[in-house]
């Protein structure tokens, strides 16, 4: 039998306190989340998802604290998509996934966990990456520690504009 190891999820499971304030705004300000931030650009930032759906789950958000796409100006929209593309290219080169789930959840009813600061999820996927554990036990196996993945991805995000 193999052991699953994802120690960073324990605070989520136990419902421990979340940081005071928006995690994206804290990341922009350089307060906390240092081990999750991949890069901060002119209008956007990218960071690892602390509670990933899959290995390499990246979040891309505008630096400005806005709830939806309508609040973004054209430059922010373009930069956001540029950085979503950068995330997919970095993950493709580093992890060689078979595909991606890329999307955003706008509003609590749509599944947004942080509904007041919109953000894209970029989730690499591999053929066969779901198994009986996900279906029966609602458990995902994340084989690499988040800090190891972060260290490998961070150089790619030096390209953020």
Q: How confident is the model at residue 148 (pLDDT cuts 50, 70, 90)?
A: confident
Per-residue model confidence as pLDDT tens digits over 75-95: 999 999 999 999 999 999 999
DSSP-derived pairing of the beta strands 37-40 and 120-125: unpaired
Which CATH number applies to 7-159? 3.30.428.10
Would you say 65 and 29 are in contact if contact means Cβ atoms under 8 Å apart?
no
Give the residue extent of every domain in the chain: 7-159
Question: From the candidates 117, 119, 121, 150, which is the catalytic residue?
Answer: 119
Would you say 122 and 92 are in contact if contact means Cβ atoms under 8 Å apart?
no
Query: Which comes out higher in pLDDT, residue 136 or 101?
Result: 101
Mean pLDDT of 93-121: 89
Give the position of tokens 């749509």: 110
Q: Does 121 qualify as catalytic in the annotation?
A: no
Secondary structure of residue 121 in the 3-state scheme: strand
């Amino acid at each position: 039998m193999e052991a699953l190891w994802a120690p960073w999820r324990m605070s989520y499971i136990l419902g421990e306190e979340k940081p005071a304030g928006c995690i994206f705004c804290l990341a922009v300000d350089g307060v906390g989340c240092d081990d999750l931030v991949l890069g901060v650009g002119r209008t956007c930032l990218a960071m690892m998802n602390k509670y990933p759906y899959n290995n390499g789950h990246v979040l891309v958000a505008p630096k400005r604290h806005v709830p939806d796409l309508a609040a973004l100006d054209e430059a922010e929209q373009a930069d956001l998509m540029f950085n979503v593309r950068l995330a997919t290219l970095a993950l493709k080169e580093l992890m060689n996934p078979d595909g991606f789930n890329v999307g955003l959840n706008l509003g609590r009813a749509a599944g947004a966990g942080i509904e007041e600061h919109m953000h894209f999820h970029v989730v690499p996927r591999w053929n066969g990456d779901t198994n009986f554990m996900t279906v029966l036990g609602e458990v995902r196996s994340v084989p690499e520690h988040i800090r190891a993945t972060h260290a490998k991805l961070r150089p790619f995000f030096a390209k953020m504009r």
